[in-house]
Structure 1
Amino acid sequence: MNRFLLVVCFLFVSATTFGQQFSQYNTGTLFDSFENPAQTNFTPDSSRYVSFNFFIPNFGANIFLTGNGQIPLKTRAFTGRYVNTNLTLDPNRYSRANADANTYLLMLRIFKSLDGDQEIGFSWQTRSEGKGIFTDQTLMLLNGAREFQDGVTYTGLNNNYRYQGYHQISFAYREKFSKKFSFGVKLSALLGIQYQRLNINQSSLQFDNANNTALLGLQGDYRISYTSGKFNRGDLIPNFRNPGASISIGTRLQTRDNFIIQANIKDLGFIHWYGKSAQNVFNNVASPDTVPNVNGTRLEDRLYATAYQIVRSNGQQTGFTTPTNAKFELSANKSYWLDNAMQYKYSPTLILQKELFYEGYTAALSNPFQYKNYTGTIVAAINNYKVINAGLQFMVKSTNAEFFIGSDRLLQTVSLAQASRKSESQINSSGFYSGADVFMGFSLKFGHVIEHPLNANLIPIGERPGLLKRLWNGIWGKDNGD
Structure 2
Amino acid sequence: MFNTKTLFDGFENPAQKTFVLDSSRKFASNFFLPYFGLSGANKGNSDLIRLAINEGKYNAQNLPLRTGNINSAYENINIYLLTFRIFKSYKWQKELGFSWQLRSDAHIDYTNETLAILDTYKRFDTNPYDDVFNNDGYAQSYHQFSMTYRENYNKRIAFGVKLSLLSGITYNKLNISDSYLLLDPANDLINVRVKGSYKASFTETDELSSRNLIPTFKNPGMAFSFGTSYQAKSGVFLMANVKDLGFIKWRKSAYINKINSIVNIQNLSQKSSTQINNEIADVATDESDSASFYSPINAKIDFMLSKAFTLSTTDFTYTPSLIISKNLFYKGGDAAFVNKLKYRDLAISAIPAYNFNNLFFVGLQGVYQTPNFEVFLGSDNLFKTVTQINGAVNRDAGIGSGYNGASFYMGLGFKFGNTVEHPQNSSTMPGIGDEQKSFFQRLFSVFSKKK
1:70-469 pair list within 5 angstroms: 70-84=46-60, 87-228=63-204, 229-284=206-261, 287-293=262-268, 298-299=272-273, 301-341=274-314, 343-424=315-396, 426=398, 429-431=400-402, 433-458=403-428, 461-465=432-436, 466-469=438-441
- Structure 1 residues 239 and 153: CA distance shift in structure 2, 3 A: same
Describe the shift of the 1:305–1:459 C-alpha distance in structure 2 as closer, same or farther (beyond 3 A).
Answer: closer
Distance in 1, matches of 2:335 and 2:61, equals 32
CA contact (8 A) 2:201 2:255 kept: yes
AA of the residue aligned to 1:442? L
- The CA deviation at 1:291 is 4.6
| TM-score with structure 1 setting the length | 0.88
- Whether the 8 Å CA contact 1:416–1:426 is kept in 2: the answer is no
TM-aligned CA deviation for residue 280 of structure 1: 1.2
Q: Which moved more, 1:143-152 or 1:442-451?
A: 143-152
Q: Percent identity among equivalent residues?
A: 36
* Shift of residue 457, structure 1, vs aligned partner: 5.0
Matched letter for residue 224 of structure 2: I
Deviations 1:163-196 (A, max 9, x none): 1100000010000011100000000001111111
**Alignment deviations for residues 347-400 of structure 1 (CA, whole Å, 9 cap, x no partner):** 111011111113423211111111111111111110222200101111110111
Q: CA deviation at 1:91?
A: 4.8
- Alignment gaps of 5+ in structure 1: 1-23, 478-482
SS at match of 2:388: helix
Shift of 1:471: 3.3
1:50 to 5, 27, 30: 27
Residue type matched to 1:171 in 2? M
Please identify which structure carries the higher strand content: 2
The 8 Å contact of residues 189 and 243 in structure 1, kept in 2 or not, is answered as yes
3-state SS of the aligned residue for 2:442? helix
Contact kept, 8 Å, 2:83 with 2:97, in 1: the verdict is: yes
- Return 50-59 or 403-412, whichever deviates more: 50-59
Q: Which amino acid aligns with 2:306?
A: N
After superposition, give the CA deviation of every residue in 1:190-233 in whole Å (9 maximum; x if it has no partner): 11111111112111111122333222221111111135221111
Code of the residue aligned with 2:317 in structure 1: it is K
Task: Verify the 8 A CA contact 1:154 1:206 in the aligned structure 2.
Answer: no
Once the two structures are TM-superposed, the CA of residue 39 in structure 1 deviates from its matched residue by 0.5
2:17 is matched with: 40
CA distance in 1: counterparts of 2:67 and 2:294, whole angstroms: 32
CA deviations 1:287-323 (Å, max 9, x no partner) are 43215325x7852x13322123211112111000000
Answer with 123-132 or 44-53: which moved more: 44-53
8 A Cα contact 1:91 1:135, kept in partner: no
Tell me if structure 1 keeps the 8 A contact 2:19–2:87.
Answer: yes
* Cα pair distance change 1:338/1:81, threshold 3 Å: same
The question of whether the paired residues in 1 share the 8 Å contact of 2:55 and 2:397 is answered with: no
Confirm or deny: 8 A CA contact 1:91 1:137 kept in the other structure.
no
Q: Distance in 2 between matches of 1:141 and 1:62?
A: 27
Call closer, same or farther: CA 1:226–1:396 in 2, change over 3 Å.
same
- Contact kept? 1:63, 1:98, Cα under 8 Å: yes
Partner SS state of residue 66, structure 2: coil
Query: Hey, what's the Cα distance between the residues in 2 that align with 1:275 and 1:143?
Result: 35
* Number of residues of Structure 1 aligned to a counterpart in Structure 2: 446
Aligned equivalents of 1:359, 1:41: Cα separation in 2? 31
Contact 1:281 1:313 (C-alpha < 8 Å) held by counterparts:
no
Tell me: CA distance 1:473–1:218, structure 2 relative to 1, closer, same or farther (3 Å): closer
Q: Alignment partner for residue 4 of structure 2, among 21, 27, 40? A: 27
Asked if structure 1 preserves the Cα contact closer than 8 Å seen for 2:167 and 2:248, the reply is: yes
Shift of 1:454: 1.2
Aligned-pair Cα RMSD in Å: 1.9
Question: Distance between the aligned counterparts of 1:374 and 1:344, measured in 2?
Answer: 10
Give TM-score, length-normalised by structure 2: 0.94
CA contact under 8 A between 2:51 and 2:397: conserved in structure 1? Answer: no
